[in-house]
Structure 1
Amino acid sequence: MIMNKRFSTLLAAALVAGGLSANVMAADIVTTDLKDGQFIHLSTATGGTTYLTMDAKGDFSTVVASSWSGNIDKLLGSLWQVKLIPHTTQAGTTYTYSLTNRLSGQLLSVKLQSDVDGGGRSENITANEKGGNTEWAYASGNALYAIKGDTVFTIGIGSNVLTFGATEDTSAPSNTSLYMGAVSTAAVTLKASDFNALVKANAGRLFFTDENVSSTEKNVLTANKWEAVDAKMTDGAYASGGTDVLFLTNGKEYKNRMNNAMTAADQTQKEYLLVDYNFYDPSKEFNVLKADTIAVEPTSDAVSNFDKRTVIAKHHPATAAFTVTYYIPNDSMVIAPAYVQTSIPVATTLKAMHTALPTNGKVTAVETAVNALEAAVASFYTTYDGTPTSMPAKGDKFAEADFATTGGAWQASSSESTITGEELIEAVKTAIKGITYSTTAATEKLEKAYVAKVNAYLSALNGLEIADLATTGGQAANYAKVSTSAIKDGANYADGLNSLTVNAVTSKQVVIRKLSNTKVLTIGGDPAVVANGNLVATIKTSDKDATIGGDATIAEGLYYVIDAMKEDDGAENKYYGLYFDESPVNAANYVAKAQAFNPYAQFVVTKAAGVDKGNYAIENRATANAKWQGVTNVVDKDNKIYTIGNDTIQLVAADDVDEDNAYIGFKYITANDAKNNKFTITSAAEMLAGQTIVMVKDSSLKIAEGEMLFTLTPSEETEYGVNEDLINVSYTIYNDADSTYLVKDDASDNYRFIHESNIAPSAITKFYMIAVDTDSTYVLADGLDDATKMVISTQYKTISAKDLDERNDMFIVKPQAAPASYKSLPKHVRIQAINGDYAAVNAKNQGIAVREGDLKADAYDNLDFIFWLDTAHYENAAPYTYYITKGVKETEEVAASRLYMWNSYDSAKVKDANKELPYVYGAGANRVMFRTASIMAQDTLLVPTMDAAAKIDTVSIAAKPAGSADGLKHNVKAGVKNFQFSFEFASKDADNEYNIVCQNNNGKNYVHNINGVLAMGPKEDAVVVNVLNVTPEDEAATGNETINAEGVKVIAANGGVQIIGAQGKKVVITNILGQTVANTVLSSDNATIAAPQGVVVVAIEGEEAVKAIVK
């Protein structure tokens, strides 16, 4: 261990004039001399003085070496603690190194990744890279490097950055921009900012290693939390020669008499560490250290007031002046006093006690007697005839002295009418005995308080005598020194009327001293000098030894974080016990309890690369801000309380969070739900419950009774968060009643409704709905950074745009069903145009529009006008889409295939035998056809080809070749959306009026009625239809599909499927989403298997699959 130097040597070394001393330079380190836990610099040159630094956040910079006084934060940022990582080889043990920054606690971490051809980076590295490489090799002149595969990665020091290199090699490349350098052994004289930076991590606490006081004694240094105040006494009797000194306060405050007249007790005094005038030993060598008030606050009073203020003080301010020096190699400090007090006040300070007598409750008779007594006491200290011979002599006692019966003056001659001091005291006691206290309780209380103070004053006069004379000849202008029964050794005591005196002290520092069998905290000579007899007691800013990293072992994962700092800057921490929250609309950044719905109140804990414990990053799950990072130590293992950075925190496992839900923290409405619902937005406040957003005459907004429906249109989803596994969405808010958008109006800097015709789409405000307090109450904000939010005036109920850090008003957003397209479970329907035409299928399987009277025509059957809506996309769909097939008679037994409505867009160029285009009508409109097909899966059909080969095509969303990654053994063609149709509202005011829309979205995907022919075209002039339920008679003519193959039959039933003739065969039933609802081998020839209501697919071993509609 490097011992602390003598104080005088330290102070001189720290005040080198004219710049740097030679030992500030970082001498190159021989790696064989490196020790585990040693602090080093990383310098830019051999013997260099420019060092790589890291700030508390992990950003890199460089600093030029100095005496470091006033720059301790830069010094700490330039210190790197080395951990030696041994590797056993045939040649012996070699080492790699990890480097932990003293200021940030972070391991030096760089990702071994290049982004330019040939290796390297296009940009220098400006900040520590979380999750990077933390284990480095080093050889002087080779910088820090790491070998990965056949590539050597190097880092060097640039201008405030790290440089990065990568070459294909297996040996260390030459790099002369980074060297390991030894730290200076010179002491650093600390300024207040330096001291405070050093003790910040442990909230101002100091710690002792090696030794401490006995358990029966109190160590004032470790029992308090300290903050330093700079001071420099440059003139007067107490000047320190211009040396910077520190005053260390524990933050405790009192109200005392500090004004010039010393009358009103309205000035703030703090407690400071000081050298007391009491001693531990009879020889008066070892002073007591204590915390107490001093005569002059170091930052507020001028030197010229020292004499005046120390008249009524117990401690001279200079006794609280210390020089603090810091030793870099062992991260410790020495605290040395500047002065010790040479005169000690009477404990009661008699003049001050009389001045402090209360004015409220005083009793006149007692006051008169006390004033006469005080005049006599004052005259006992001084002379009135101007000659020393008429002064009281040394040893004269106040009680026996004679005083004038008028004026209270001390008398040199007994020829005058006199009264003794004892008689004056008795007169006061007699006056007290004669008091008749007030019958009013409050007044009586004041009178008794006054009497108690008077009695204390009388007690203080016990044994008052002249201890020494201030002068021995000539005019006596000074006061005498006195003693009392409480203070026997009068030679060193001021009487409370004289200024206190001090002497400068050198070559002493705060030490632990063993006296008899007790170890005490005192001041003494350098403990490194054996002759001094003082014990080595290193003063540190942490109770942890200088080890690599911390001692915490934390399971990585998701946590809530509680503020476990009981104090903040010496005061009670009002946020103690609350949960951290970094929500953009929470200015306090705390919440009262864990919030599983709020990612801003959740934190991801990860271990630093290259360590097995003690160094962690704690990042906000939503903001990805590494709020804490670096060395982590245990405070309370059982309750998961740790110190990291400058904070004490408690971790609570976030086991209640659904980590698979990426949408927490914000209102999430799918595009489908947004399209198929309108929404109410109402106040969540109890007094405003149910009130919604309305516009008043001046276009401003307020909350009012009534119901307003809004259309919310979501933006594109945005990934965010520490792992980019969260998603948020913003919304435009459209008022359907008057076709207006809710916007943030730049002109008024407030919210307004603006008609859709008066605003460009790009100017429409998008609102985030941020969950606050609960998962269903939201703050409406127009952004997440540098934005505003909706706030309601509690008095006027008006809505204003306020900054995100203002108070919150929450809203409730609820959907009201308003489907944007026709929604139905599978069923039979008729489709009728609003002009009266019915959709039908002719003999050529073409879609046509026929008048109602044609139903009786011989050319058409009733089934030609009935269609089966077979669900393609139903749940959470926008729009709801269907396969539309021709109806089938209930009595018919059919195969799984049917005639499916089809947009013949992909067959437009096909010609028939007459070289005509059968799938085109008129001027290029693709016909609506009905084509044989069967469902293989929700988005896949089996469609027979129309050529001579009569093959079966698999038609799905996208084309896939045979042998593709999913193991297909045949080609899959695209185009299934040509078979999928929706019924979308023709207008927002329409009721059961729809356009028929094909889902291929090619711009001509709306069904038109062109002279009775159903063909495809644009939205304009698309046919408008009603979807009609069929009559019971019609329903009876149609039915479910059945299988009737060699005796095997499937019949849909209520709540299940009846299967006949399949005993011993395996049956699999799936719903329309492909989810298996039954998988069994039948043990009966007539079995009924339960199945959910709706469309199911039944697959029987050896048979083709068929659909059934379970009722």
Structure 2
Amino acid sequence: MNKSIFTLMTAALLMTGSMFSSAYAAAGDKAAVAYASSSMKLVDGTKLYLGPDATHLLKPSASFKVEGKDFVSFENLTGADPSTTFSGFVPFELRNVQATATGATFELWADGKQVVVKAADGTVADGGVGSNKLSELNTVFAVTYASADDKGQVNFNKLYTSVIPTKEVGLSVVAFTNSIEWDADMLNEYNSKGITFNFAADNLVGNVFADEMKAVKAGAAFDSWVAGTYFVKGAAADITKFKTTQSAENAKNLYFACLTDDKYVLNGQKAGEGHKFAWVKGETISAAAATLSKDAAFTSITEGDAINNENALTLNMAPTIATSNPVTVGAYKASESDTKAYVTAFLNSSVVAGAIMLPATLGTSTYLDASVLLKKDAVNTVNIYFTSGKQSVDGDANQQYEYHKYLVAGAGASDYQLEARAKSEIDLASPMTQWVVSGFNGKASFTLTNREAASPANELVLKLKATDVEGEYEIESATPAADDAIAAGVTANSTGNAGAKNQSLIGKTVRFNSVATTKTDGFLEMTKAEREGGFHLLFSGKVPGGIAEMYGVLSANNATGTYTPSENKGDYAFTAEVVKDGTPAVANYIINDVDAAYLDKDGNIVTVKDTLAVPSYKLVVGTNSASKKVLYLKKDAVTTIDKDDANEGEFFFRKNYDGTYAMGLISTNYAGSVKATAKAVEVNAAGTAFAAAGTATLYVPTISNVTIKFNDNSDATSLPAEPRHVSFDNVLGSVAMQMNKNNLEEGILSKEGLTFWLDTVGKADVPKFYISRGVEGQDERLFMFNSADSLGIFSEDDAQLSENKNYLLEGTASDPKAIFRAATLTAKDTLTTTVDGDLIKDDLKAYQYTIQLNDEDVDNEYVVKSVKGGWLYALNGKLGFTSDPKKAMVFTLGDEVPTSNDAIEVSEVKVIAGEGQIQIAGAQGKKVVVSNILGQVIANTVVASDNAAIAAPAGVVVVAVEGEAAVKAIVK
């Protein structure tokens, strides 16, 4: 940004009305921080800088208390040069201005605190000294004027205390403001769609500048045209051509704001004044460029008082048609009572007494407020979510786009890179997907820094433009701006025809979704109980023929064995020790500090650091019973070694998007251990040993995905791994099912719930279950099924278009239904499913669930989580799966266990379940109702004998004997 410093225009050329906060106007722009003599009005609210000269300005001191109230004074009376540093320089504000016979009195405030000096001698108050009394301090200042013409102006050259006798404050303290020269780039940036100029008059005549236009800077004469800033309108391509190559030829098709020979008749008009502006075609100007171009060229555009009258601009020219120049462009009014104002050029220093010249004020801005991405008093961290592009088509590499994907930092072959990835491919809680808002240029460009990645994909500078959709922004420019900035994940069409292309960020539209963060996001931080309770490491990854899973065990199955891969867990678990040393030694972490920013209470940008901590551990394999030495994993070879050996290892665990971890090894450089090419511990290709220098990296694993199996008591949080019958009950209803119009048995909430079979799956530390319901007269059961893979709309997780819409939970954008699909449990952990006569190979994870306590301190309140992903919940009475654990339904489990053929005693009555019947003993003369679990009545009769038999279908039935509690029984 090129801002030159100019002296203030007179008060008549200044106009109130701020377009955006001055807190952001000069952000990062050191050149804007300079000041010139001021002749502003001395009124309440005027802001000014104070000092003996423009290079020695006064700062407010640190805040101090007097009688319980906060005050500031002047930091010193020698001042400091703001061109060296602007830190701490803020404008002072006038309050409670009172006119006197020879001048004025007023209060000075800074940062919301009143300025005081010593009453006795006018010197700086002793901030913080407890003996200070308010009566000893001066809170009101005074100025006097040498001439009556100066009254009410801020052109004083000395500042005094108001007490009698008055004391001078400092040495010839003068008031200043900053004046900024605008260039063409600044104007076009102010409104990227096209700038306009307004003038503060209700009845304005001849304002050609109300049309959207672009500013073009001609830095040197061309084709007899003069240098200057031109205001043009026309086709965007023609404007771009003219800006790129300034020539009479390229100017022909454009229109230029130009002074003409046509004049207004103005009161008090002087020769050469009152000329009208018009849009003149470039070819006309080119025909007489030596003269006409001067009537279209602006020599300077100045913001005279940037702290009180932002965007009020003085437009200067040196045209040929004026009898003398330079001239100032403004809206001329003969007097305050004049009903019209005329946009014209006026000879400088020749304003008729009583006449008013109104400056130009910039119209609507496309600048953004800092609050778009910066929060008050809190750092903002976001996921960047694309809303532009097309829906990607599943399975078609040439139809992959950024639409509904996320901008993340990925790892390439040699370094980090920007990628557009679907939700299912990433973990939104990972620091690789998190961007810290770390800066704002005061206009439209925000700096965002990735929490984990290093250069070149760690920092983005995005110039944004608001779209018509609230919360969505178009990226106008970006750094980095390479054409393949988001190549990974936006696959190129190798044929070069229509389809996905590697494109830059420019032109994309995005949303910024704020996310909560913790210091250790993306990395495993073990609790003390987990570290000391012990754990096993299960390594997994894709190999030819499927997925390989191998534990790390001691080869001799004792504390002295070599650590090797095995399909069995082994007997010796790890414990972990938090590392107590390392570099840096401040804590037990690799520290990544990135810049972060927020707004303070006054709207100023405050910069702090966002710290990402990576916990690292030494892993204890076991205890040697003979020597009592603790053994550790070793570096490089990844085997056991005696404690305190120079090669003992130190490891950390970086979370993968699927919930597993990559196991990293600390190198000699802490900070260098987390990088795009950092190696991960893996099982070697032969499956016989571990390696820390193989092909696997933290971000591109092979057989290196680590699942950490803690030796906790899973039954304390999970339903015990025992087959059983249960009902799932909630205050809103119990789990049941119904056939919908698409012939799907969908899960619902009902007043009358069903009883389900729970079958255990494997021997996992956290038990998994199949949830099913028997089908009368058939071997098949209806198994609860997570229909995520069957969704037939655009999947938000995968950013792909799929096939069947019937599996979407109504009222959601992407949550799958919970349905019940017919299947046969042919062997433990094996289901076969037939749909429309075809054998379907479903992902068994879609049928498997964990059932865990919602709160360890509350018994029998469980949540159901699909192994496929998502918690069971209800929306409008229908069941589905949500990725938000806060929405998970909390169920109590019905504990009635039906009998087989054992007798159930109901008072003196006995109910015996047999084959195809229920036998009722001791109920002669009583009414008996037998119903199925859905509530359908099978029998409703008064038994005539003391040992009656009632036919009933196989399955669970409910028997209600008059005067007794209902019971459940299993009929064979």
TM-score class, shorter: 0.3 to 0.5
TM-score normalised by structure 2 residue count: 0.34
The higher radius of gyration belongs to 1
Greater helix share, structure number: 1
